[in-house]
């Protein structure tokens, strides 16, 4: 049972590791690995795996976690991706130490092992083409047929395989296959391809090879070479485990244990590498680090912290059942972390001009504001106040509903850290009638936000002094998809139909307090009452650009929604 406030109990993977430690199965060693293919950017689903693998290594004395690039398919893999992956893993707070590996480092050994299997009569060179191999494989319900090349003499396969390596044959003309069982109910056993000819330069080995091992023939052996104890992967490899085991047994080499867990699914989010590539290449987003992307780079740019992502990964647990995790849980952890560490600041996203008619024209005074109520050590700062201010447009309503306790004609509110003001006059554009500003009076007795007469003011709103405010662009983000499960598509539709047209809203003319002028890209702030924001690298001097990381919890929005919902249902 869980105790109140405690972390979830150990998941089934950790339970296996603990049991193995108890029985001494691996002599007390714990070696895991995170094995990305460098063909795309890491996303939150990978973060789950990273936290699991590196986490288990950290939790066990002497445990280590390797970072190994599974680079067996040169057609899709690039250095750009390996660099981004390394950076992302580091940013998440994990360290592989000296244990950085590449499957491509093992190509020669893998080749030798392939030769060994041929010699044992457990592999053969097959001259069938791709279509024929598919045909011969059979179907889910029918057994396959044996390749006519299956019983070719060992010497002949050996010679052919050597010549495949030497580049004597065309791409696709031959493959090396394991010789297992064409009638196996597990399709992975129907003489799986071990090597294919690919006359493509590899990002690390260049043109040294023109044959490349398949995942199944590389992964287990790589684990074996590295003396991995627990090879943790996702559920879709469950059917591959018998083959993983088969190769290691046939080769008679060190044999790690493969354990599979369910991959992460997040509501309103897509986590298929393929589809993420489509989003980038189709220009649906600005790039891999678009703040709406579920990539580590995107979340980082958005303002998420590694601590928040790790806390999220710990909270969701690890199991074998398919699930769809509510993105609200991720956002909860982001808020929880940011609340403690973000300096508070005032920024007006949709400015409405306010003139304090009884405040002197040329005076500017400095008012003291608390930087972070959650952290007294963060200290205070001064913010300028003067006759002309901006407040948030929706902090004023001409005809407010019940429960609205901000500014309205004749009503008094508190300007945070400043004075009480009362709305005296509404100014409109003569042509359009649009609201262009307010005239208010202030009560000089309320400097700093308190009143000597103890009069209660329910509403407190944020503001900036017009003359000193800094102009900024603010980018508001919403879920990239408007459907909880973006993979659910109407008949004849496409998953991109589920893209949320309002996932990005750019506000070009926001005003923020002057203390923000010197902020550095990546710096995070709470704009009081609005949310958490992070300075985007697109900022230039004199042109600040902020990304909204996540809103604050908004009770008022909830009340509004309820009221509207109530009206609709009537």
Query: Which active-site residues does the annotation give?
Result: 37, 263, 273
Q: Does 319 participate in binding RNA (rule CB under 7 A)?
A: yes
Query: Is 46 marked as a binding-site residue?
Result: yes
Which residues within the stretch 337-396 sit at the binding site for RNA (CB under 7 A)? 339, 344, 372-374
Query: Is 48 marked as a binding-site residue?
Result: yes
Q: Are 381 and 434 in contact (CB under 8 A)?
A: no
Q: Count residues binding RNA (CB under 7 A).
A: 100
Query: Is 219 marked as a binding-site residue?
Result: no
Q: Nearest-CA neighbor of 214 among 116, 65, 114, 86?
A: 114
CA-CA distance, 489 to 479, in Å (whole number)?
17
Stretch that binds RNA, among 104-112, 154-162, 290-298, 457-465 (CB under 7 A): 457-465
Query: Is 84 marked as a binding-site residue?
Result: no
Q: Quick one: 29 or 447, whose CB is closer to RNA?
A: 447
268: left (phi over 0), alpha (psi -120 to 50) or beta: left
Give the helix ranges, DSSP H, for 173-326. Answer: 215-225, 241-251, 273-281, 296-302, 306-316
Stretch that binds RNA, among 139-147, 280-288, 489-497, 536-544 (CB under 7 A): 139-147
Identify the residue among 175, 348, 349, 464 touching RNA (CB under 7 A): 175
Considering only the C-alpha atoms of the chain, give the largest distance between any 2 of them, rounded to a whole number of Å: 102
Q: Quick one: 240 or 548, whose CB is closer to RNA?
A: 240
- Interface mask (CB under 7 A) for RNA, residues 59-98, using x and -? -----------x-xx-xx----------------------
Q: Quick one: 58 or 339, whose CB is closer to RNA?
A: 339
Helix (H/G/I), strand (E/B), else coil: 3: coil
Q: Quick one: 65 or 128, whose CB is closer to RNA?
A: 128
* Nearest distance from C-beta of residue 273 to RNA, angstroms: 8
* Nearest distance from C-beta of residue 180 to RNA, angstroms: 13
* Phi, psi (degrees; rounded to nearest 5) at 441: -115, 155
Angle made by CA atoms 95, 548, 391, in degrees to the nearest 5: 145
Q: Nearest-CA neighbor of 118 among 145, 148, 150, 144?
A: 150
Q: Quick one: 379 or 448, whose CB is closer to RNA?
A: 448
287: left (phi over 0), alpha (psi -120 to 50) or beta: left
Query: Is 44 marked as a binding-site residue?
Result: yes
* Nearest distance from C-beta of residue 346 to RNA, angstroms: 9
* Nearest distance from C-beta of residue 351 to RNA, angstroms: 17
Q: Nearest-CA neighbor of 30 among 54, 64, 53?
A: 64
Which residues within the stretch 25-54 sit at the binding site for RNA (CB under 7 A)? 35, 37
Q: Are 104 and 204 in contact (CB under 8 A)?
A: yes
Which residues within the stretch 540-559 sit at the binding site for RNA (CB under 7 A)? 552-556, 558-559
Stretch that binds RNA, among 108-116, 131-139, 353-361, 423-431 (CB under 7 A): 131-139
Q: Point out which residues pair with 423 in neighbouring strands.
A: 440
Q: Does 455 participate in binding RNA (rule CB under 7 A)?
A: no
The secondary structure of 47-98, three-state, reads HHHHHHHHHHHHHCCCCEEEEEECCCCCCCCCHHHHHHHHHHHHHCCCCCCC
Q: Does 2 participate in binding RNA (rule CB under 7 A)?
A: yes
Q: Are 94 and 48 in contact (CB under 8 A)?
A: no
- Interface mask (CB under 7 A) for RNA, residues 220-249, using x and -? ---------------xxxxxx---------
Residue whose pair of structure tokens reads 């806390």 in the numeric block: 311
Binding positions for ATP are 37-39, 43-49, 234, 263-264, 271-273
Binding positions are 37-39, 43-49, 70, 215, 234, 263-264, 271-273
Binding positions for L-glutamine are 70, 215
């Amino acid at each position: 049972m869980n105790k109140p406030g405690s972390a979830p109990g150990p998941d089934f993977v950790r339970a296996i590791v603990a049991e193995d430690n108890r029985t001494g199965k691996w002599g007390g060693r714990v070696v895991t690995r995170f094995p990305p293919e460098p063909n795309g950017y890491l996303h939150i689903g990978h973060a789950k795996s990273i936290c699991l693998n590196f986490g288990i290594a950290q939790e066990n004395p002497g445990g280590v976690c390797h970072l190994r690039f599974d680079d067996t398919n040169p057609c899709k893999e690039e250095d750009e991706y390996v660099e981004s992956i390394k950076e992302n893993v580091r940013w998440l707070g994990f360290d592989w130490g000296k244990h950085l590996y590449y499957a491509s480092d093992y190509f020669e050994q893998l080749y030798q092992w392939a030769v060994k299997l041929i010699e044992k009569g457990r592999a053969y060179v097959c001259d069938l083409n791709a279509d024929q191999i598919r045909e011969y494989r059979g179907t889910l319900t029918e057994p396959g047929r044996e390749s006519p090349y299956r019983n070719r003499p060992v010497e002949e396969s050996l010679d052919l395989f050597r010549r495949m390596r030497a580049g004597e044959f065309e791409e696709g003309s031959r493959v090396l296959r394991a010789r297992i069982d064409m009638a196996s109910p597990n399709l992975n056993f129907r003489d799986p391809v071990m090597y294919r000819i690919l006359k493509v330069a590899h990002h690390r080995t260049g043109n040294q090879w023109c044959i490349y091992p398949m995942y199944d023939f590389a992964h287990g052996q790589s684990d074996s070479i590295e003396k991995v104890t627990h090879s943790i992967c996702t559920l879709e490899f469950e059917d591959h485990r018998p083959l993983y085991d088969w190769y290691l047994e046939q080769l008679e080499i060190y044999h790690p244990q493969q354990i599979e867990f369910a991959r992460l699914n997040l509501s309103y989010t897509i986590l298929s590498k393929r589809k993420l590539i489509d989003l980038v290449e189709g220009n649906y987003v600005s790039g891999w680090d678009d703040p709406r992307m579920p990539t580590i780079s995107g979340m980082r740019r958005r303002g998420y912290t590694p601590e928040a992502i790790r806390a999220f990964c710990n909270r969701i647990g690890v199991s074998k059942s398919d699930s769809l995790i509510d993105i609200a849980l991720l956002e909860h952890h982001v808020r929880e972390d940011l609340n403690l560490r973000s300096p508070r600041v005032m920024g007006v996203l949709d400015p409405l001009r306010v003139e304090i008619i009884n405040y002197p024209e040329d005076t500017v005074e400095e008012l003291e504001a608390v930087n972070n109520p959650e952290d007294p050590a963060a200290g205070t700062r001064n913010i300028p106040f003067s006759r002309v201010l901006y407040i948030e447009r929706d902090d004023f309503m001409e005809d407010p509903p019940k429960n609205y306790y901000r500014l309205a004609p004749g009503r008094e509110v508190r300007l945070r850290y400043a004075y009480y003001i009362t709305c005296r006059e509404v100014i409109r554009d003569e042509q359009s009638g649009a609201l262009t500003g307010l005239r208010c009076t202030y009560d000089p007795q309320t400097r700093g936000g308190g009143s000597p007469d103890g009069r209660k003011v329910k509403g407190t709103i944020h503001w900036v002094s017009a003359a000193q405010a800094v102009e900024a662009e603010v980018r508001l983000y919403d879920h990239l998809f408007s459907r909880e499960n973006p993979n659910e598509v109407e008949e004849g539709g496409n998953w991109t139909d589920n893209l949320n047209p309002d996932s990005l809203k750019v506000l070009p003319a926001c005003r923020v307090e002057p203390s923000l002028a010197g902020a550095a890209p990546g710096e995070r702030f709470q704009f009081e009452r609005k949310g958490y924001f992070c300075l985007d690298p697109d900022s230039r001097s004199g042109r600040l650009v902020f990304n909204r990381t996540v809103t604050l919890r908004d009770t008022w929005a909830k009340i509004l929604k309820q009221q509207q919902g109530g009206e609709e249902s009537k």
